[in-house]
Structure 1
């Protein structure tokens, strides 16, 4: 394969992830019940924390997967052998990237839970589901063909970019409204 072909594969994967994310958000938002009245901050934070459980469960599963691969081989001591197989190397990279993404996701989820209008709160569980699906797709794609991780990466990154952007604007508008 050439670099041009690889770039095309990644671009197509990112586009698939981008459009897939939009389709999932729009579809689920139109079918899920909407919040009908304002919700107090404690309930908003409770929703955000509940939406963090499945992403954290996936992260924990990744940790267990890597830990179980260490048993009975030289990687049992990661100071001497970080990964015993190529699959384990991939799993470690996915775990590292998921850790980074999960930090952004958690902060973003908490910020959005208090900043978005109550009518949009049903987006938070959708965001959580899309994040988990994207991370699973990223993991599977990385293990099959490193270029195929792009759709999963897009699914977990695009909502983060939109959410962080929204949160930054909402905070700045609040700050400047005070002055």
Structure 2
């Protein structure tokens, strides 16, 4: 239950990304019909890319948190820190995305590398 509570913050990042795409489409005559029927504007293309990456990162992160505590209950203490890094990373990724790779790299790293650490540490605990 502890991990589920903290995972809510990861899901909040996903919810915000979905809401951003929906809002951008709603206020854009070119985008309102959806991506399957029209070519997206630059704004919606960026928002969709952030959404896709956020979805991928949420799935990996949430899975890694459960793996982490399933292998050792003592790992429970690190979950809030991992979630904090995830949320800060997603915000920085989102803000920096339109400015190019160098501006989103920090956010990506704060999201991705703690998740990689969690997965690898879970595997190490199994061995």
After TM superposition, the score normalised by the length of structure 1 is 0.65
How do residues 45-56 of structure 1 correspond to structure 2 at under 5 angstroms?
46-56=1-11
Aligned to 2:96: 141
Say which of 58, 64, 80 aligns to 2:37.
80
Contact 2:24 2:43 in 1 (8 A): no
Q: 8 Å contact 1:74–1:80 — kept in the other structure?
A: no
Query: C-alpha deviations, 1:72-92, integer Å up to 9, x for none?
Result: 5121122122522x2221111
Q: Helix, strand or coil for the counterpart of 2:98?
A: helix
Checking the alignment, whether the CA contact within 8 Å between 1:138 and 1:150 is kept in structure 2 is yes
State the distance in 2 between where 1:145 and 1:100 align.
19
Which residue of structure 1 lines up, in the alignment, with residue 69 of structure 2? 113
Contact 2:89 2:108 in 1 (8 A): yes
Q: Name the SS of the counterpart of 2:37 in structure 1.
A: coil
Identify unmatched segments of 5+ residues in structure 2.
Answer: none
Find the aligned partners of 2:81 and 2:38 in 1 and give their Cα distance.
39
Runs of 4+ off more than 3 Å: none
Partner of 1:128: 83
RMSD of equivalent CA atoms: 1.5
Q: Secondary structure of 1:121's partner?
A: helix
Alignment partners' CA distance in 1, 2:71 and 2:101: 36
The higher-RCO structure (CA 8 Å, 6+ apart) is: 1
- Structure 1's unaligned 5+ residue stretches are 1-45, 174-179
Equivalenced residue count is 125
**2:112 pairs with 157, 162, 167, which one?**
157
Structure showing greater radius of gyration is 1
Q: Distance between the aligned counterparts of 2:85 and 2:39, measured in 1?
A: 31
Tell me the distance in 2 between the aligned counterparts of 1:82 and 1:170. Answer: 47
